[in-house]
């Protein structure tokens, strides 16, 4: 089964006086591979601009926008129609024996490929994050999947979700001190904690489908904006999704756009502007995802042998 969805994401900046704009980076087009396919996409702006595309070091799709005129408002809209095949459950991809317990054993080749995702990125000068992480492996609690589940559940149930319009992500120690954060903060806390246990983790930026927007009964935390979660590399299962904000690890709700070592690498829209300091009045972000329909699984016909004449 797969779903067809429409995504629209608009970011608007307001200024007191006309300002000029430097180059902006837009990251919105999913690099989805086997998990889906793009049917159509577009990027529009109220200010005339030239768009060129590139892939960054992690193969994320990046649109570079060069604006030709000053303006008091800059509005950029992304539109995507795509098919999403969903994330299979961990039961469909059993772990290798070397991944069943903490610490996970990576092969030399895996270590070379994954080392940038294993090394912690943030400081923990007071040891707050280290102390919090140790509770999940204390005693004989070393089952990998159990540690991942309990950490995800703990973040979801013990911290208070607080939406925040300002860009940026809290240091994990700060999230623990405040006992609150956004989806970005939750994901980053889990990633940096698991890295301290020797697991390869990466930050995922994307969107979350909220069935409540289509008349469903259950609302998703973090909908109406970009969303973020963690991916953990487990030998035998590959990169597995863990969304501590909604306790999601499989299904059709998470729509991946980009991956990164740290959150600052995958900001949906970033760039510069030139004017007086007090010209900036604020920004608004609006995201909507609509499910258009569902498609059944393909039925694979039995292979027919090909007979060729001998030469």
* CATH of residue 23: 2.60.40.2250
Q: What is the pLDDT of residue 224?
A: 52
**What mean pLDDT, rounded, does the chain reach?**
90
Residue showing tokens 């890295």: 195
Q: Are residues 54 and 172 in the same domain?
A: no
Q: Which two tokens stand for residue 199?
A: 């697991």
Polymer length in residues for the chain: 311
pLDDT over 90 percentage in the chain? 74
Task: Answer yes or no: are the C-beta atoms of 218 and 211 closer than 8 Å.
Answer: yes
Q: Is the pLDDT of residue 132 over 80?
A: yes
More confident residue, 217 or 202: 202
Q: Does residue 301 fall inside a structural domain?
A: no
Residue showing tokens 């999601």: 248
Of 210-214, 267-271, 279-283, the range with the lowest mean pLDDT is 210-214
The DSSP bridge pattern shows strands 2-26 and 71-84 to be: antiparallel
Backbone angles phi, psi at 108, to 5 degrees: -55, -40
Q: Is the pLDDT of residue 298 over 60?
A: no
Q: What is the pLDDT of residue 31?
A: 78
Give me the mean pLDDT over the 267-288 stretch: 94
Q: Is the pLDDT of residue 39 over 70?
A: yes
Q: How many CA atoms lie within 13 A of 172 on its CB side?
A: 28
Backbone angles phi, psi at 190, to 5 degrees: -65, -40
Q: Are residues 22 and 57 in the same domain?
A: yes
Q: Domain with 179 in it: what CATH number?
A: 3.10.620.30
202 CA to centre of own chain: 9
Q: For 173-197, what is each residue's pLDDT tens digit?
A: 999 999 999 999 999 999 999 999 9
Q: Are residues 10 and 120 in the same domain?
A: no
- Give me the number of domains the chain comprises: 2
Q: What is the pLDDT of residue 295?
A: 80
Confidence class for position 304, pLDDT limits 50, 70, 90:
low
Q: Are residues 107 and 237 in the same domain?
A: yes
Q: What is the pLDDT of residue 299?
A: 52
Q: Does residue 306 fall inside a structural domain?
A: no
Task: Answer yes or no: are the C-beta atoms of 20 and 273 closer than 8 Å.
Answer: yes
List beta partners, residue 295: 2
Residue showing tokens 């501590």: 244
Q: Is the pLDDT of residue 34 over 70?
A: yes
Q: Are residues 115 and 211 in the same domain?
A: yes
Q: Does residue 310 fall inside a structural domain?
A: no
Q: Does residue 72 fall inside a structural domain?
A: yes
Q: What is the pLDDT of residue 7?
A: 94
Of 46-55, 87-96, 131-140, 169-178, the range with the lowest mean pLDDT is 87-96
The residue segments making up the domain with residue 277 are: 2-84+267-295
The residue ranges of DSSP E strands in the chain, in sequence order, are 2-26, 36-45, 49-55, 61-67, 71-84, 160-161, 180-181, 201-208, 227-234, 238-242, 254-260, 269-274, 280-295
Q: Are residues 205 and 150 in the same domain?
A: yes
Q: Is the pLDDT of residue 306 over 60?
A: no
pLDDT over 70 percentage in the chain? 89
Q: Are residues 254 and 136 in the same domain?
A: yes
Q: Is the pLDDT of residue 213 over 70?
A: no
Residue showing tokens 């000029």: 20
Q: Is the pLDDT of residue 52 over 90?
A: yes
Residue showing tokens 């969107």: 207
Which residues have a Cβ under 8 Å from the Cβ of 136 and sit 6 or more positions away? Answer: 147, 150, 151, 154, 193, 197
Of 50-54, 103-107, 148-152, 298-302, the range with the lowest mean pLDDT is 298-302
Q: What is the pLDDT of residue 56?
A: 95
More confident residue, 302 or 48: 48
**Euclidean distance between CA atoms 258 and 273, whole angstroms:** 25
Q: Is the pLDDT of residue 48 over 50?
A: yes
Backbone angles phi, psi at 43, to 5 degrees: -135, 125
Q: Does residue 309 fall inside a structural domain?
A: no
Q: Are residues 260 and 280 in the same domain?
A: no
Last residue of a domain, one of 248, 265, 282: 265
Of 46-60, 186-200, 223-237, 274-288, the range with the lowest mean pLDDT is 223-237
Q: Tell me 219's DSSP state.
A: P
Q: Is the pLDDT of residue 305 over 60?
A: no
Q: Are residues 101 and 222 in the same domain?
A: yes
Q: Does residue 211 fall inside a structural domain?
A: yes
174 to each of 137, 152, 177, 179, 283, how far by Cα in Å?
22, 18, 5, 8, 25
Q: Does residue 191 fall inside a structural domain?
A: yes
Q: Are residues 233 and 105 in the same domain?
A: yes
**Euclidean distance between CA atoms 49 and 109, whole angstroms:** 43
Work out the end-to-end distance of the chain between its first and last CA atoms, rounded to an integer number of angstroms.
44
Q: Is the pLDDT of residue 165 over 70?
A: no
Q: Are residues 36 and 127 in the same domain?
A: no
Q: Are residues 118 and 179 in the same domain?
A: yes
CA dihedral 4, 10, 11, 12 (to 10 degrees): 180
Q: Does residue 100 fall inside a structural domain?
A: yes
């Amino acid at each position: 089964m797969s779903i067809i969805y429409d995504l629209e994401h608009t970011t608007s900046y307001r200024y007191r006086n006309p300002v000029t704009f430097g180059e902006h980076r837009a990251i919105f087009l999913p690099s989805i591979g086997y998990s889906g396919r793009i049917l159509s996409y577009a990027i529009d702006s109220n200010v005339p601009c030239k768009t060129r595309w590139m892939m960054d070091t992690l193969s994320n799709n990046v649109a570079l926008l060069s604006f030709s005129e000053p303006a008091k408002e800059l509005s950029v809209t992304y539109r995507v129609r795509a098919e999403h095949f969903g994330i299979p459950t961990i039961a469909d991809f059993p772990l290798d024996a070397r991944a069943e317990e903490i610490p996970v054993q990576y092969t030399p080749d895996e270590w070379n490929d994954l080392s940038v995702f294993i090394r912690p990125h943030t400081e923990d000068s007071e040891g707050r994050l280290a102390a919090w992480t140790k509770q999940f492996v204390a005693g004989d609690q070393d089952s990998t999947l159990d540690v991942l589940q309990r950490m995800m559940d703990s973040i979801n149930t013990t911290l208070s979700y607080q939406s925040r319009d300002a860009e940026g992500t809290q240091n994990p120690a700060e999230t623990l001190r405040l006992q609150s954060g956004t989806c970005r903060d939750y994901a980053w806390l889990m990633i940096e904690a698991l890295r301290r246990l020797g697991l390869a983790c990466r930050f995922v930026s994307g969107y979350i489908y909220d069935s409540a927007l289509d008349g469903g009964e259950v609302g998703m935390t973090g909908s109406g904006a970009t969303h973020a979660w963690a991916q953990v590399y487990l030998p035998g299962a590959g990169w597995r999704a863990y969304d501590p904000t909604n306790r999601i690890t499989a299904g059709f709700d998470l729509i991946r756009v980009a991956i990164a070592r740290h959150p600052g690498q995958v900001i949906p829209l970033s760039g510069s502007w030139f004017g007086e300091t007090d010209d900036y009045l604020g920004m608004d972000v609006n995201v909507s995802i609509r499910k258009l329909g569902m498609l059944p699984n393909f039925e694979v016909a039995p292979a027919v042998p090909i007979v060729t004449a001998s030469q």
